[in-house]
Amino acid sequence: MKKISIALLVISIAFIQQSNAQKYNSRIQMDAGAIYEVTTEVKNLLAQQANGFSFDFNLNGNAVSLYNVTNTGDENISLRHKLKRIDFEFDGMGSKMKFDSDNSKDLEREFGRPMRDMLAKSYDMIIDTLGKTLLVLAPTAAPSAGDDQYKLISGLLGDLGNVATPPQKGDPTIFMSWPGGELAVGESWSIIKDSPNDNYRTSYTLSSVNDSTFVIDFTGTGAKKIENEMRGMQVTVNMKTVTTGQMQVDRATGIVREKTTTVESSGTSEMMGGSTPINGKMTTITRIKKKEAQ
């Protein structure tokens, strides 16, 4: 009896090792004519210190974008992007504000001018079946810069402020989850960007697999420099970031179902020769779903 038990244990261990070594592959599959709705939810808290006082800025917002699949091939997918809606609530330095692009009165305000531009424009792009940007036909006109109030709040919008901005050639898109090739559970890869004002290194790990979903965990570090002008004065923000998150990827289509990203940041804001510390935490949840035919 004992020999049988030991034999079963050895077989079980061998089976587990074989299962852990199983390799998986994933590529994005989309049908021409399909429309994918991408919702982005952002919660951002930023604290800035100045003259012995601490100022908190809170922003909660949402955006909805549509990606129309205009063409598909064996190696690439053509998409047309259109921003459908953006809304948020802001609270900071004694000022509160709400904005909803579905509200015509909000769009008519001076603050709404950059938002009107974002909503009016679309762009076409080609991605490979891993989700990397191959080509972008960007809008011919850039959005309006906006007033000082917009400049203040736009820094807190995070991914909401970038939903209408085309990615650069070679950049990963929101659809990208897989580095290519075959992976086993526990294997990792990295995505690196190095530019004068924005650089990061993010490591991804295929942490688990179930019948319908790949689960990918990720962590990363980065640095960002933002230069802007407010009330005639140059403002430079330098931030260090630490990122953690997780993706749920549909096994059948290779498309990200949901991605949660938390970015904790610390740095300084420099203006008129002075420097003040800044700390922040932003959580972004992105969900992608195929729209049902009408």
Which residues lie closer than 8 Å to 188 by C-beta, 6 or more apart? Answer: 203, 204, 205, 206
The two three-digit tokens of residue 172, written as one number:
């990963």
User: Into how many domains does the chain fold?
Assistant: 1
Best CA proximity match to 46, nearest among 212, 287, 278, 288: 278
Give domain status of residue 1, yes or no: no
What spatial distance separates the first Cα and last Cα of the chain, rounded to whole Å? Answer: 64
Please report where in the chains the tokens 């974008």 appear, as a residue.
65
Task: Report the distance separating Cα 42 and Cα 47, nearest Å.
Answer: 16
Report the CATH number that the domain containing residue 271 is assigned in CATH. 2.30.230
CA distances from 9 to 3, 5, 200, 263 (A): 10, 6, 45, 44
- Structural domain harbouring 194: 25-290
The residues pairing with 248 across neighbouring beta strands, listed in sequence order, are 215, 258
Give domain status of residue 20, yes or no: no
Give domain status of residue 17, yes or no: no
Q: Which pLDDT tens digits describe the chain residue by residue (294 residues)? A: 444 444 444 445 444 444 457 999 999 999 999 999 999 999 998 887 766 667 788 989 999 999 999 999 999 999 999 999 999 998 887 778 899 999 999 998 877 888 888 888 899 999 999 999 999 987 765 666 655 666 667 666 777 778 888 888 988 999 999 999 999 999 999 988 888 888 889 999 999 999 999 999 999 999 988 777 666 667 788 889 999 999 999 999 999 999 999 999 998 887 767 788 888 999 999 999 998 755
Residues in the chain: 294
Task: Report the distance separating Cα 187 and Cα 190, nearest Å.
Answer: 11
Give domain status of residue 236, yes or no: yes
Give domain status of residue 178, yes or no: yes
pTM of the full predicted structure? Answer: 0.84
Task: Report the distance separating Cα 83 and Cα 70, nearest Å.
Answer: 16
Q: What is the DSSP letter of 132?
A: B
Give domain status of residue 19, yes or no: no
User: Residues 160, 8: contact at Cβ < 8 Å?
Assistant: no
Task: Report the distance separating Cα 148 and Cα 154, nearest Å.
Answer: 10
Give domain status of residue 274, yes or no: yes
